[in-house]
Chains A and B, each alone.
Chain A
């Protein structure tokens, strides 16, 4: 089932939660809505589910306009951030209830319901817990029950609101891999909301990055990470160093840096900001080229195979973050307090007039 979201807007009082949102989601796609809190991502998901009404715009499932159809008729599976399991029911009943309450003529027989529930519980690896109650389960298990419950009604669309937000890092990672596999097996059009960029990039086919009720960028994880189209996206997807300087005839001047920015060859003395990811900063011990700038290593910390460096530039006294592999770090034999030469390997320049950060 494809989903078309057309010019959806929503305000809460004077606060504009969503402003003219358009997204087209293909059948079987797994899409992440990514953004900081207050960006409108959850509101959009709730509007798709029918739990919230849009002020304007329309939503189509396939060719059917479902804007004014109630939640119960939309055939969506919804997984809530805090699970919202029925606390007074066993795991089995939680999963079975969506089928049990169907009108008699579309309700499966008792035996069919039982088979279906156990099939789903096997899928979420909880068949041994059928008779437990939600409070007797861990967070990860509860979330899997919530998923099984959502899938039991054979939804055409699966919506997940920060599904792993309340879980610890290890469980979260396991579950998102598992969700990816589940999605690959079921091929059900799915949208999940997250504020965790790593999660979005790791799981989704496409990522929709939202900010202040608007869409900043839509693209594959690779596209949005490698080619952010705005400073916001740059900043939101991972760490970034800002080089505030002047742009003149295709070069960004900042401190002792003169960095090529060929796309701005006709710029005349403009204020601009260069964005550089920490892993795009090269570090050398000798001054090999004249565009390197000297800096002092202030702090080194090693996280697994990645080494994070905190550096202070000698020209502008600004701090920089750099990342390098452990191999390179070992080769260079870097020490705290040492003087090195840094330069950006790759940078993207934005002129602040065009964007507000």
Chain B
């Protein structure tokens, strides 16, 4: 396997991540927005699970930093949670990959809950905590939508032979 082979389809990864960023700042009514899954987190989890040698903790941290600027939060807030969640994902990736989709969803739920709770906590320190139960909606929606995202991303990865 040559070096050229190893870094194939980087643009597909980048394109899917940009797509996820677009989705995460789509203008929606506030009520609908609370029900939106964490697109960028889910796509990053997928890539770090499928290709942990390409999308790792460092990439996740940089993506989180961009999300911080997009959402105008404290610089480093999303970077911290993204890095942490992706670190856990990479630790567990061989175990998550082999189980059926609905069991993967449960793991995703736990990961998204960690993400949401640490976010909630950081906002709370700044005195900006939203309604706690509202903050819990997004992780459940993310877990529900995970099978669809997984299948879509796997097709994308196979079609463009990203490895």
A binds B: no
